[in-house]
Amino acid sequence: MANYRPLVTTIAQASATSGVILPATISTTSWGLLLTRGTAVFSNTILRSGAVAVWESTNPTTAEPDGMTFTDANAIYGITTRAGVQLRFKFYAQ
Protein backbone atom coordinates (compact mmCIF):
# COMPACT_ATOMS: atom_id res chain seq x y z
CA MET A 1 0.00 0.00 0.00
CA ALA A 2 1.39 3.39 -0.97
CA ASN A 3 2.02 6.12 1.58
CA TYR A 4 0.85 9.65 0.96
CA ARG A 5 1.81 13.12 1.99
CA PRO A 6 -0.24 16.31 1.57
CA LEU A 7 0.62 18.85 -1.09
CA VAL A 8 1.12 22.35 0.28
CA THR A 9 -1.63 24.91 -0.16
CA THR A 10 -1.11 28.52 0.91
CA ILE A 11 -3.92 30.92 1.79
CA ALA A 12 -2.65 34.49 1.64
CA GLN A 13 -3.92 37.23 3.94
CA ALA A 14 -6.07 34.89 6.03
CA SER A 15 -6.42 37.52 8.79
CA ALA A 16 -7.81 40.04 6.30
CA THR A 17 -10.63 37.64 5.42
CA SER A 18 -11.47 36.46 8.92
CA GLY A 19 -14.90 34.86 9.04
CA VAL A 20 -15.02 34.34 5.26
CA ILE A 21 -14.93 30.82 3.82
CA LEU A 22 -11.91 30.46 1.55
CA PRO A 23 -11.99 27.51 -0.85
CA ALA A 24 -8.70 25.61 -1.08
CA THR A 25 -8.30 22.43 -3.05
CA ILE A 26 -5.74 20.06 -1.59
CA SER A 27 -4.54 16.67 -2.71
CA THR A 28 -1.87 14.10 -1.99
CA THR A 29 1.03 12.58 -3.81
CA SER A 30 2.56 9.14 -3.40
CA TRP A 31 5.60 9.14 -1.13
CA GLY A 32 7.65 6.18 0.07
CA LEU A 33 8.05 6.47 3.84
CA LEU A 34 10.42 4.99 6.39
CA LEU A 35 9.67 4.82 10.12
CA THR A 36 12.90 5.13 12.09
CA ARG A 37 12.92 4.26 15.79
CA GLY A 38 15.88 4.31 18.14
CA THR A 39 17.51 5.45 21.36
CA ALA A 40 19.56 8.62 21.69
CA VAL A 41 22.73 7.92 23.70
CA PHE A 42 25.89 9.93 24.32
CA SER A 43 28.83 8.56 26.34
CA ASN A 44 26.62 5.82 27.84
CA THR A 45 24.10 8.44 28.95
CA ILE A 46 20.60 8.42 27.49
CA LEU A 47 19.36 11.76 26.17
CA ARG A 48 15.99 12.25 27.86
CA SER A 49 13.63 14.86 26.43
CA GLY A 50 16.16 15.70 23.74
CA ALA A 51 15.41 17.00 20.27
CA VAL A 52 15.99 14.75 17.28
CA ALA A 53 16.50 16.47 13.92
CA VAL A 54 16.89 14.63 10.62
CA TRP A 55 17.99 15.86 7.22
CA GLU A 56 17.28 13.95 4.00
CA SER A 57 20.91 14.32 2.95
CA THR A 58 24.29 13.63 4.46
CA ASN A 59 25.73 16.87 3.06
CA PRO A 60 26.72 19.56 5.59
CA THR A 61 24.00 22.19 5.74
CA THR A 62 22.64 25.04 7.81
CA ALA A 63 19.13 24.56 6.41
CA GLU A 64 16.15 23.63 8.56
CA PRO A 65 15.83 19.86 9.15
CA ASP A 66 13.37 17.89 7.06
CA GLY A 67 11.94 16.24 10.17
CA MET A 68 12.00 16.80 13.91
CA THR A 69 10.82 14.95 17.00
CA PHE A 70 11.76 14.49 20.67
CA THR A 71 12.95 11.64 22.84
CA ASP A 72 10.88 10.40 25.75
CA ALA A 73 11.99 9.75 29.34
CA ASN A 74 13.85 6.64 28.16
CA ALA A 75 15.50 8.46 25.22
CA ILE A 76 13.37 6.54 22.71
CA TYR A 77 12.35 8.40 19.57
CA GLY A 78 10.47 7.58 16.39
CA ILE A 79 10.26 9.65 13.23
CA THR A 80 8.86 9.13 9.75
CA THR A 81 11.13 10.14 6.88
CA ARG A 82 11.19 9.79 3.13
CA ALA A 83 12.47 6.43 1.93
CA GLY A 84 15.23 6.01 -0.63
CA VAL A 85 17.42 8.89 0.57
CA GLN A 86 20.45 9.14 2.82
CA LEU A 87 19.68 10.53 6.25
CA ARG A 88 21.64 12.61 8.75
CA PHE A 89 20.47 12.63 12.39
CA LYS A 90 21.40 15.13 15.08
CA PHE A 91 20.46 14.86 18.75
CA TYR A 92 20.18 17.82 21.09
CA ALA A 93 19.87 17.54 24.86
CA GLN A 94 20.12 19.89 27.83
pLDDT in tens, 25-40: 777 777 788 888 999 9
Give the C-alpha separation, 36 to 80, whole Å.
6
Count of structural domains, the chain: 1
Name the residue range of residue 48's domain.
4-92
Q: For residue 89, what are the CA distances in angstroms to 13, 22, 67, 86?
A: 36, 39, 10, 10
Give the C-alpha separation, 22 to 42, whole Å.
49
pTM value is 0.65
pLDDT in tens, 71-86: 999 999 999 888 888 9
Q: What are phi and psi of 25, to 5 degrees?
A: -90, 125
